[in-house]
Amino acid sequence: MNYAIIGFGKIGHALAKAFARNGIEVSVATTRDPRSFASEPAGTRRT
């Protein structure tokens, strides 16, 4: 199953990490520049 999260604030980030830790594919829609969170910890990855 695939999920999409709109927004990558604290809640969106926490949800994306939780889904990723459980092997669930997640897409994130945000207005932030992807380079601004490129150094985020492992467990979230951009596709």
Q: Per-residue pLDDT tens, the chain, 47 aa: give them.
A: 788 999 888 898 899 889 989 999 888 888 877 777 665 555 555 55
Closest-CA residue to 42 (of 16, 24, 8, 4): 16
Is 42 within a domain? Answer: no
Q: Residue 22 is part of which domain span?
A: 2-37
Is 33 within a domain? Answer: yes
Structural domains counted in the chain: 1
Is 19 within a domain? Answer: yes
Place of tokens 């709109």: 6
Is 46 within a domain? Answer: no
Q: How far is CA 18 from the centre of its chain?
A: 9
Query: Collapsing DSSP states into helix, strand and coil, what is residue 36?
Result: helix
pLDDT on residue 46: 53
How far is residue 32's CA from residue 21's CA, in Å, rounded to a whole number?
Answer: 23
